[in-house]
Amino acid sequence: MINNLYSLLNTTGFVHLTPGMIVMWCIGLILIYLAIKKQYEPLLLLPIGFGILLVNLPLSGLMEPDVGLLWKFYHYGIHWEIIPPLIFLGIGAFTDFGPLLANPRLIFLGAGAQAGVYLTFFAAHAMGYNIMEAATIGMIGGADGPTTIFISSKLAPQLLGACAVAAYSYMAMVPIIQPPIMRLMTTKAERKIKMAKPRPVSKREKMLFPIVSTFLIILLIPASAPLIAMLMLGNLFRESGVVERLKGAAQNELMNIVTIFLGLPIGATMHADIFLQPKVLFIFVLGLIAFILSTMTGLLLAKLMNLFSKEKINPLLGAAGVSAVPMAARVVHKVGIEADKRNYLIMYAMGPNVAGVIGTVIAAGIFITLLAP
């Protein structure tokens, strides 16, 4: 009789709970709270938080290889590299490259911010992460969720959950993290610099850009092809003006669907046994450093460019080189207005901001080319 009761109890999850799981519940609930109450990237943090709760319920088997529902989402969506490129299709359909085309030299600011990625990669490796893990951690500094997930699934799947959550939570905190650095590294006079009115960009040029850049970037860094191809296809949908329905689908329906299938399995990679290790938790520290360094290198490059050019660039634009679109550009605009209420930087900041997306993808492609097994 007692034996029967005991085996019945054993089929429930209660006896299999570990303290780690309960800690993970708290983390999951905190993410859900931040998503709902503070609206920090709710579209992602909400499903991620729920995924964390699910995978830390014992015996559910949701992440059991070949069987579990969330495992299937993860394996066929992320491991097979389908979802991050589809997100890029949507981003492409959203993105107006006009500000970049109008002011092409700002493209270099999008590259400058990638230096933070490499610096952090270097630091992480020096601290004992293996070279592939270090590359994935550095990528957080690019402030691009899908790219971080993409490189992580290729190089360091064991860190995917932590890197994705770090990337998305720091992206949500851009308005808190960046302004103090920006104020520290620029003088008020620099922040007041007004940008020259950009040249007009024709419709035809905007249409040609996705095609030309696809050729160039994929020829140069073939490993970046899945992300760049989708980004530029989405952009061609947008600029061609003849496939409004496809553009709408990429931006809205498809984007929403893949967001669901992205967030849930990311949360599900965060099982207590994998996640609660000093090595994984320290990623959050390194990720923050990556983010700060990227902001700084962007600002520094803008100042460096000012030494050589007659038409001065407002150095704040360098901070928009991290690819958190459009949060970083908005932050630049706000800090610019603080210095001079007639300095409207938003459209100029969108240039380095979208260049940052391309720069991050290129950086990821190089890591994958050099390191992929």
Residue numbers at the binding site for other proteins (CB under 8 A): 100-101, 104-105, 107-108, 110-111, 114-115, 117-118, 121-122, 125-126, 131, 134-135, 197, 200-205, 208-209, 212-213, 216-217, 220-221, 326, 329-330, 333-334, 337, 341-342, 344, 346-347, 350, 355, 358-359, 362-363, 366-367, 370-371
The 10 Å Cβ neighbour count of residue 174 is 21
Min. distance of Cβ 9 from other proteins in angstroms? 51
Closer to other proteins by Cβ: residue 20 or 198: 198
Token pair in block for residue 37: 């109450």
Closer to other proteins by Cβ: residue 254 or 355: 355
Min. distance of Cβ 300 from other proteins in angstroms? 13
Closer to other proteins by Cβ: residue 154 or 330: 330
Closer to other proteins by Cβ: residue 78 or 231: 231
- Angular region, 194: left φ>0, alpha ψ -120 to 50, beta rest: beta
3-state secondary structure of 81: coil
Query: Under 8 Å CB-to-CB from 304, ≥6 apart: which residues?
Result: none
Which H, E and C letters describe 92-113, residue by residue? HHHCCCHHHHHCHHHHHHHHHC
Residue 325 vs residues 203, 329, 351: alpha-carbon distances, Å: 22, 7, 10
Query: Under 8 Å CB-to-CB from 176, ≥6 apart: which residues?
Result: none
Min. distance of Cβ 291 from other proteins in angstroms? 17
The 10 Å Cβ neighbour count of residue 372 is 12
Token pair in block for residue 208: 């040609």
Min. distance of Cβ 325 from other proteins in angstroms? 9
Min. distance of Cβ 343 from other proteins in angstroms? 9
11-48 burial code (b ≥16 CB/10 A, e <16): eeeeeeeeeebeebbebbeebbebbeeeebbbbbbbbb
Burial class (CB in 10 A: 0-12, 13-18, 19+), 158: middle
Closer to other proteins by Cβ: residue 19 or 373: 373
Min. distance of Cβ 303 from other proteins in angstroms? 17
Min. distance of Cβ 54 from other proteins in angstroms? 32
Interhelix angle for 145-155 vs 254-268, to 10°? Answer: 50
User: Considering only CA atoms, which of 164, 115, 113 is closest in space to residue 136?
Assistant: 164
Closer to other proteins by Cβ: residue 79 or 334: 334
In angstroms, the CA 160 to CA 211 distance is 32
Closer to other proteins by Cβ: residue 70 or 363: 363
In angstroms, the CA 349 to CA 320 distance is 6
Closer to other proteins by Cβ: residue 54 or 159: 159
Closer to other proteins by Cβ: residue 269 or 297: 297
